[in-house]
Structure 1
């Protein structure tokens, strides 16, 4: 049973359409719990057969039916909602806005796994590559973007969790760093995501520069946190919030760079034809 989930995830990412879990004796409760966890953390997999000694899981989602951008967009929406709701709670909204942090984090991770499964399929099966309308380089850059977004999701989750657990001690104003950076971050990230479709290289590059400056501004203001008066809990919490906002900006720069690489590759391919 040790490492069963890792083995199942590995099979899922490699593009397996059928995953069988079998035992010589009766399948244990722990193994069944692992199977449930796997189904919760992935997309497009369902149990086809279940008896005392074997569970057979099958894919019900054709990897070529869902465009790669759909998962990217869903991850972006989940990340943005976590950060937006965290800011709203700091500004006075009910902390219940953040009651489903764990579920949103799981959805982000599940989308990343789904996209990597699709990329693996596109690299192995020419018909999938054709239907997804991607070449190998573009497929790999989509996987790279998904991993960047997963890291952003980790920091959005951390930010939301800090606000949920310490909302009463946080004293940063919405017009102070790092909180005042959040609307600007949100605007520039939206520009980047939107231009996965419109492909305006100039706007993506401009957003990247703005986010890099914002990251540096947040970092410059971090030293001021420790000069303020307050409990150790409050100061540490506010520093961690600043750190997560800064990392969100930094990973957004990485996102923009990966997208620029992808779009320039596409332009060169068309030029060479």
Structure 2
């Protein structure tokens, strides 16, 4: 963390107050005499100084050098990392011809990410640019879309179990990638806001609010992960006869879990403190539903019973994560009101 520089405010002329700029900052930004700078008053009383007065999004380039020995899994993770941290241009470069498996990973990356397109390709270099305007993808809308997908995944996973439908379960597993892509997009947009004060202003999202969006997106992604786990367990149970009402019990628990999740997201988007608090209390009923499922699982042989127990645990965890959304909402509301 940078040290704070203390400077005295001085008077110039009759009523003007001035303060000198730190030399390190002047040198780093190449500010010259008579150049214009932007001053933005923050809600907490601080004053933000920026050399970017045009409001144009800052452009950042990341170059990765590769060769025949480059780990293809690592280069994919590095590209995802560059995307999430806000680089607007990613260049994959080699001193010789680009290996075929690296080219394939670059194409995989553009499919996995949102707004990333190959704009230039030669034998030795591929350039990927961000073609998405962050202001055209409101973060709250992305969170809503993530929540809709996760909710449908959960419903379909328990339906697949009831109907012995392995194709539907496989579809749930595949959709987990859609939630991951959107979670990366939220993380990217928040990191762009952190690094570009003008973008924060244009999107009307304070930095403190933006940091909470990453937390909510991660929670939704984890709920989708548990829907995926339910689908995987459903596939393991496809070929056995399921009696004793356990499917009905699981579906009741799933409906309770998703009702809590929907209420938590409604409280978050509306900033409803009372709703958030009330929703947390509903997790007790879900806990009872999940214990009922685990109890019914005891009538199956151990190899099958364990899958039902895993399903019950995933449903309980969904409720816990929804409660985390409510707690974040309460903390944010309390913290933003003096």
- Taking structure 1 as the reference length, the TM-score comes to 0.89
Residue 173 of structure 1 corresponds to which residue in structure 2? 246
Pick which of 18-27 and 159-168 moved more. 159-168
Residue 274 of structure 2 corresponds to which residue in structure 1? 202
Deviation at 1:222, TM superposition (A): 6.2
CA displacement, residues 124-161 of structure 1 (integer Å, 9 cap, x when unaligned): 11121122222122111110111111111111111112
Deviation at 1:66, TM superposition (A): 1.3
The answer to whether the 8 A contact 1:214-1:249 is kept is no
- Number of residue pairs the alignment of both structures matches: 265
Larger fraction in strand: 2
CA displacement, residues 187-229 of structure 1 (integer Å, 9 cap, x when unaligned): 2211222233332221121112212x14532554466256x23
CA displacement, residues 60-113 of structure 1 (integer Å, 9 cap, x when unaligned): 112222111112111111111111112222333744323423431111111111
SS in 1 for 2:123: coil
Structure 2 unaligned regions, length at least 5: 1-69
The answer to whether the 8 A contact 2:120-2:128 is kept is yes
Residue 5 of structure 1 corresponds to which residue in structure 2? 76
Give, in whole Å, the separation in 1 of the partners of 2:76 and 2:166.
33
Residue 16 of structure 2 corresponds to which residue in structure 1? none
2:108 maps to 1:37: yes
Pick which of 10-19 and 62-71 moved more. 62-71
1:179-190 correspondence runs (5 A)? 179-190=251-262
Give, in whole Å, the separation in 2 of the partners of 1:194 and 1:93.
33
Give, in whole Å, the separation in 2 of the partners of 1:101 and 1:59.
29
1:75-90 correspondence runs (5 A)? 75-90=146-161
Residue 15 of structure 2 corresponds to which residue in structure 1? none
Return the match for 1:111 from 178, 182, 201. Answer: 182
The answer to whether the 8 A contact 1:215-1:250 is kept is no
The answer to whether the 8 A contact 1:78-1:108 is kept is yes
1:108-257 correspondence runs (5 A)? 108-169=179-240, 170-171=242-243, 173-176=246-249, 178-211=250-283, 213-218=284-289, 220-221=291-292, 224-225=295-296, 228-257=298-327
2:333 maps to 1:260: no
What is the alpha-carbon root mean square deviation over aligned residues?
2.0
SS in 2 for 1:46: strand
Structure 1 unaligned regions, length at least 5: none
2:137 maps to 1:66: yes
| Greater Cα radius of gyration, structure 1 or 2 | 2
2:188 maps to 1:101: no
